[in-house]
Structure 1
């Protein structure tokens, strides 16, 4: 069957405005508005939290504190975070109380009427402060390979330095949002904008002293997630559930954009101290690096994010001798959380920065430094001991160098910079080798329920959540191909914990991998039964009132295929049945048309004690070349051109993969250029709205933007031979950062190691003003 690359499954409803998000759900009779009373200070002892006056206001139904919860601790890894603060406040925006009212005006009035008195406590507000005060949480992590100390001592060239990468706001268009409907027998139905319905279910149940089977969480779709709704949606769902549980009325909690940005976690800021030894060709002989991540006030997902940053500090380059350590700083800011790339970008940024620094030190094109260090063949191993299989990196580099005319453009840019006085240009090519799997092994599992109806149409339920990335479109295509039917005959249902229990978050770029594989397995169980009865029909079996079909385990069904809406015997092509006819026959003969399947990722493991293992099923690879211009007088950066080339194996959906590549790259470019988080000296986020936080606009994207993919059918480990695309392209935004460093070097700066992420226009202008020009 010839499949067309159809648009995103919700494209039409998005464009016409008919897609339903949480706050689009109709208000029910008696539904309550839920508002959070949040901390205005970063670190303090609560002396008084008086809600008496607020409770008496018209329209106020109730105000709830930690005393109204059965359990007041939650956390994805360690349950160290209170849902509602008890004695101490630990960050600006921390929830202290929950207001339930019949209308928003009453809720807002009640929030103003709550009296809070605190005693200020010393606050650690910055990563540097935490490091200097040894304000850490959790254990120090280690990876080591070879003899880094010996090779550093023997290296002809040695560079020491610090590198900082800042945080980043997820900036999903739909803020944290939840509606909770009470049901009989103290049960709750939670509708959430969340990447992890199972965690929402479990946190709500635990907080209220309910059993997990008393809570159902449903996620139809999100208006964006980017990791910001992997763990922290559960927090706000529990607060809404608290109201519904105590009042017996539906409760709706929808944060404003300002409330959301002030209170929720971002991409982790990192500081990395490094020492690198290399030879005259730019080959890295040894690397020693200590990564410190700002985890914020509580643990959240920070240990796993720190570990992935350590796993990705090699990025696309072989490090034969390396010692890599990781620490987690504790600050009195919102707990930082998952963000597309999950620490990988912060790790890769360090080595790409080092590549530029080595190039400047040796007066080489940094591309040649990268080529000298790029993983070769399929035998080299990462610092954590995983063999780099199906390595397409050299091919990707070679192909893009030619297709984007890198060498010719390098000469042209050099000539331009010698002549130009106002505008200076830079060019850089970076790579990505992104490991695909959750680094926590038990999370690498998914399940699916497939129901084939008697008219031949299909409903599919999985644990995947749709946040705009197209996971539903990919799963629908997988199911349609396996059953040999049209995609329009397949419907992906809203994600619900009553149909798909104990699933993992849609994260780690694995949503399509895990849930698509599970759906495919379920479909294959159904097609095996249908093929069995098809052969019996072709052999002359005629079911009647006294003889019905049943599965014959001795039949060979290998010649039966499903395509074009038909079930075909390849050994005898005239033996065909319409899929719909066979389905109806199966139903009339009491053959099951529904199936559940479970998938777990094979061959992954990691020993934290030794720092060795195989944490990833495979790697998604890519390269990107970016050319930028800098205005010497204003520091304004423009991305003139970006060329992206990726290896996504056998792509399931070209349109979805192209969109994810473009979007990921631009989001990465935003992180390294315009997206600066500003806090006041009391720890409150100042850039908490679209007017003060600068995500890329259309004029911040590359003027010329070329995206292409190589053909690679060697990835036999994953569904349909595909490779994940969600996170890897974001790391290629580092090509823009490195191009800025190159332009600054071309402008006369002897070295640019002081430039950190984000390289805002202000930062660029400061370097131009302070350096030699």
Structure 2
């Protein structure tokens, strides 16, 4: 934890009004992840590690060989006749609706009459072994009357095909403000998608029970949705279905809505055969069958004054959503909410088109659309700097939210804009930005082939689900007579440390050792109607729900002790594994035992819903976010202008997590989020061919960052700042905001590319900044073509064809 400034060390006594008055023992301490040892030892149990019940069957998916067209023949006889096959599942076997969508009813479990993307599930093979199922799935005879697919946003635009209605909002007359500005510019930025590449692929194990009950263990971020969708397709009440998940080997949004289809297929197999059924997608199949981060083309226009301050801004996000709506309403709405990032836009118009393409339906991904909106406005800031000759950081500072310039395009007031100013000033000084900028300019002047760049960019990210009903959580806490505590809540653990943070809250509330708190698997049988673990709200929601439960139990224990010992409740304190009652002292287990003997209830289901927030989508007004998390990153890059190869050589981060619940976990999230964002913007390129086939479908063709891509100088500092809103122990969310710190990496590479250009030139670099993209941009700026061909012919861009 080198370079960490938390302001929250051992025995920290700085308090907020809603906190206890004593020093904290567990919360705000850098405790290890609850499964850390099991992770490194290989003992952490994932779905594929669970001992399979006797007679377990295995499922493989039969996939469409075309991206668009009418199914004219589907002969499954060769599949059924293959060795080891128990049954083959099709749409005809589904008792309820053939629909695994989260909301819109447009996502079939199995295609029936048409296919809409290459690889779409047509049927499922249930066999005695996984190998037998996979081999048999390839034996189907499928005929499709193929049509030309829509692959790019331009294809969908030409056909005028969308998955949802166009939507936009803004403030003032942006077009007029731009027209009246002293300076104007317009441009377009293509932003690529991203594969989740979780270490554990999509997996589920379904076990049939009595009277139609189904128990499903699923690698999902949203157990309630898995429960609900399974009940829907099997025509069962929700209460007949239990979904359980102890941990995932990564999720990143890819298991929020899209884990349901595979769990539902396993459940259907269990219902049809009466035997346990398991599905685990092969990595290549997982790539083909599951959605990605939405890729976009962002067309913008803006007007600004002589100081580089924006007067008017218009942006249209043309979004490739894939073949169905999935979560595109919320994802693209969040793109709109974050199209301002940290900048005040006095007159603004933000429009979106949610385009339907014959590609797999895109879905949630860490940041949930916010990163795309932020990157487009960061490009605008760089454009202003290039046009005016000003330092890009000065342009950003001139446009930051500030007192009197603090209302977002959707009407929410930014209550604490001074935090961004203070953080950027502190980071610029600690990272020595100004001196390094001058040094880089000198280097570039003397270096013909290698060029360097630097950028410092801010992050302002709203915390809450913008779908209001999801801002709720439940937690179930039991205190047993021996003083041990059972903890269950609706949040899921995907490696981010949520379970540990909530356990710290429980241990802190009861004043007991961490070892007394037993973390248990999330299950719909204990905590119902939960929200997904997403939107960076896991700790905020579930930590508060657990705190509510603990407070209720403590209140009963306190009332009992006060009456028994004849003291006031204010004279009772829970700490250090003991309960101090006036001048008396009992161990926590002793009081728990006494409560049980005197029939005091030691169990409570806590519930929390986020206060204050509201959003009227039709009027485009409200307060959709409970608070904002802030951050800033300074990145330095070097490129080779002959090959396009590039590397991030230094990263300095200052991030606001409020009063951190667990600095060690939060720093890990910041580091991981930045590197994942860096991968999205530098090496991770999704390529679909003209037939709609995903060509980058495995580690051999899709490059995520590895350890050697992380710069040797990678300094993360936590900004010591209590959350102004009453969150759990005044902490702030940390899951998603750090990913957008990686905008600094893309802007630094862009800055390096610009070093080959004449003064005032614009850099035609799209994201991701792969070596090929960097080389094309350098060649364009130097007025050259690659291999004698036009630059445009070699351009892939976001979702284009090679």
Q: Does TM, scored on the shorter chain, surpass 0.5?
A: yes
Alignment partner, residue 463 of structure 1: 490
- What whole-Å deviation, never above 9, does each CA across 1:590-642 have from its counterpart, x for those lacking one? 10111101110111111112211100000000000000011122111111101
Do residues 190 (structure 1) and 216 (structure 2) align?
yes
Contact 1:639 1:703 in 2 (8 A): no
Measure, in 1, the Cα distance between the counterparts of 2:220 and 2:404.
38
Counterparts of residues 437-516 of structure 1 (less than 5 Å): 437-516=464-543
Counterparts of 2:719 and 2:683, CA distance in 1: 31
Cα distance in 2 between the residues matched to 1:641 and 1:109: 48
Q: 1:262 touches 1:688 (CA, 8 Å); kept in 2?
A: yes
Paired residue secondary structure (2:132) = helix
What's the offset of the Cα at 1:241?
Answer: 0.9
For residue 326 of structure 1, the aligned residue among 346, 352, 356 is 352
Number of residue pairs aligned between Structure 1 and Structure 2: 755
Query: Structure 1 pair 753/632, CA: closer, same or farther in 2 (3 Å)?
Result: closer
Match status 1:207 vs 2:229: no
Q: Distance in 1 between matches of 2:597 and 2:66?
A: 67
Counterpart for residue 564 of structure 2? 537
Aligned pairs for 1:282-431 (under 5 A) are 282-377=308-403, 380-391=406-417, 392-431=419-458
Is the CA contact (8 Å cut-off) linking 2:754 and 2:763 kept in structure 1? no
Q: CA deviation at 1:701?
A: 1.5
Task: Give 1:545's aligned residue.
Answer: none
Alpha-carbon contact 1:618-1:717 (below 8 Å) kept: no
- Using structure 2 for the length normalisation, give the TM-score: 0.93
Once the two structures are TM-superposed, the CA of residue 154 in structure 1 deviates from its matched residue by: 1.1
Residue 65 of structure 2 contacts residue 118 of structure 2 at CA under 8 Å; is this kept in 1? yes
Change (3 A) 1:108 1:147: closer
In structure 2, the residue matched to 1:32 is 57
Distance 1:105 1:2 in 2: 51
Q: Which residue of 2 aligns with 1:595?
A: 604
Mapped contact 1:378–1:388 kept (Cα < 8 A): no
Residue 236 of structure 1, CA deviation: 0.8
- Tell me how far 1:744 sits from its aligned partner: 1.2
CA contact (8 A) 1:379 1:389 kept: no
Number of the residue aligned with 2:788 = none
Give the 3-state SS of the residue equivalent to 2:60 in structure 1. Answer: strand
Residues 393 and 456 in structure 2, CA contact (< 8 A), matched pair in contact too: yes
Partners of 1:379 and 1:389 lie apart in 2 by 11
Distance 1:756 1:89 in 2: 31
Q: Runs (4+) of structure 1 moved beyond 4 Å?
A: none
Structure 1 residue 15: Cα displacement: 1.0
Task: Give, in whole Å, the separation in 1 of the partners of 2:662 and 2:471.
Answer: 23
Distance 2:315 2:449 in 1: 38
Deviation at 1:649, TM superposition (A): 0.7
Give the secondary-structure state (helix, strand or coil) at the position aligned to 1:733.
Answer: helix
- The aligned counterpart of 1:276 is 302
Q: Which residue of the other structure, out of 697, 718, 722, is the alignment partner of 1:688?
A: 697
> What does 1:62-73 correspond to in 2, within 5 Å?
62-70=87-95, 71-73=97-99
Deviation at 1:149, TM superposition (A): 2.5
My pick for the range that moved more, 129-138 or 227-236, is: 129-138
Contact 1:357 1:751 in 2 (8 A): no
Match of 1:698 in 2: 707
In 2, the alpha carbon distance for the partners of 1:734 and 1:716 equals 27
Asked if the contact 2:214/2:241 (under 8 Å) is kept, the reply is: yes
Structure 2 gaps of 5+ residues are: 1-23, 784-802
2:669 counterpart of 1:623: no
Which secondary structure does the structure 2 equivalent of 1:159 belong to? strand
Structure 2 residue matching 1:170: 3-state secondary structure? coil
2:257 is aligned to 231
Residue 106, structure 1, aligned to residue 116, structure 2: no
Distance 1:11 1:239 in 2: 32
Match of 1:606 in 2: 615
State the distance in 2 between where 1:109 and 1:741 align: 47
Does the 8 A contact of 2:151 with 2:688 survive in 1?
Answer: no
Task: Find out whether 1:751 has 2:761 as its counterpart.
Answer: yes
Distance 2:412 2:134 in 1: 54
Alpha-carbon offset, residue 75 of structure 1: 1.4
Of 701, 722, 736, 2:745 maps to: 736
SS of match in other structure, 2:766: coil
Secondary structure, aligned partner of 2:638: strand
Q: CA deviation at 1:768?
A: 1.4
Which position in structure 2 is the counterpart of 1:149?
175
Give the SS at the match of 2:378: helix
Determine the C-alpha separation between the residues in 1 that align with 2:120 and 2:591: 58
| Residue matched to 2:575 | 563
Map 1:40-59 onto structure 2 (within 5 A): 40-59=65-84
Deviation of the 1:137 alpha carbon: 2.4
For residues 36 and 523 of structure 1, the distance between their equivalents in structure 2, rounded to whole angstroms, comes to: 45
1:753 is displaced (CA, Å) by 4.1
The C-alpha deviation readout for 1:114-138, integer Å capped at 9, x for no partner, is 1111110231011121123322221
Structure 1 Cα separation of the partners of residues 443 and 237 of structure 2:
69
Quick check: 110-119 or 288-297, which moved more?
Answer: 110-119
Where does structure 1 lack aligned partners over 5 or more consecutive residues? 541-555
2:100/2:260 contact within 8 Å kept: no
User: By how many angstroms is 1:711 displaced?
Assistant: 1.1
